[in-house]
Amino acid sequence: MAVAVTAFAVMAYAGFALAASAPIVGQVDDTYTAATYTIDQGEVAQLQVTGSTHNATARANGPDNKPLFRSPTISGGSAGVDGTQYLSAGNYTFFCTIHPTTMQATLVVTGNGTPQARPSATAKLRTKSISKALKGLMVQITSSAKIDGVSVTAKLGKATIGKATASLFAGSQTVRVKLSKAGKSKLRAKNTAKVTVTADVPFGSPAKAKANLK
């Protein structure tokens, strides 16, 4: 009985291993091992590098105006291809930005599974006066989930007057955007100022807020 149970467990484990998606493999000759790789919806594809230096970068852009999915550039080992977990079923071409002519392939996302929800956020500019803005713009950002690497940019017209980088948690938080010296000079010269703040959310749509400072 124990032998039968053990045999069943081994078969079940083997079945699970076979069901896992094969990684995207970058080789020493600067090619991928296949023209097509397959994952299920909701899955983070894996890049494995067996030689040279490679990445896997989507040709199409996502709502953040950056590649729809992208991996870090690595010279060995494995790394996740972030962004594939948000894809719906379909075919998506990708390439290695280091070797764009020899490394091109297609990621096929099956109809199995469910895509993860893309991160999202809303923004509101809490600072209402120029005098307070000179000490830093306070931006309230409400996030749908934990999001790292959010870039927050403040502009006066087309001129950038301040930047910040934030890691968000799910819920509402306040981010302080410190103004540059040039940004402070521009604000000091104004009686009223229309300021726009944009929080760029990786793999999601940007969150924007506007306010007229007095």
- Is the predicted pLDDT of residue 15 greater than 50, yes or no? no
Would you state the torsion angle of the CA atoms of residues 136, 140, 144, 145, taken in this order, to the nearest 10 degrees? 40
The 10s digit of each residue's pLDDT in 40-91 is 999 999 999 999 999 999 999 999 999 999 999 999 999 999 999 999 999 9
pLDDT over threshold 80, residue 2: no
Q: Does domain 2-113 have CATH number 2.60.40.420?
A: yes
Look at residue 13 in the predicted model and tell me its pLDDT: 33
SS3 category, 187:
helix
Question: What is residue 20's predicted lDDT score, i.e. its pLDDT?
Answer: 65
The domain segmentation of the chain, as residue ranges, is 2-113, 121-213
Mean pLDDT within 184-194: 94
**Nearest alpha carbon to residue 53 among 70, 72, 36:** 72
- What is the C-alpha to C-alpha distance for residues 78 and 71, in angstroms, rounded to an integer? 10
Same fold? 2-113, 121-213:
yes
Q: Which CATH class is domain 121-213?
A: mainly beta
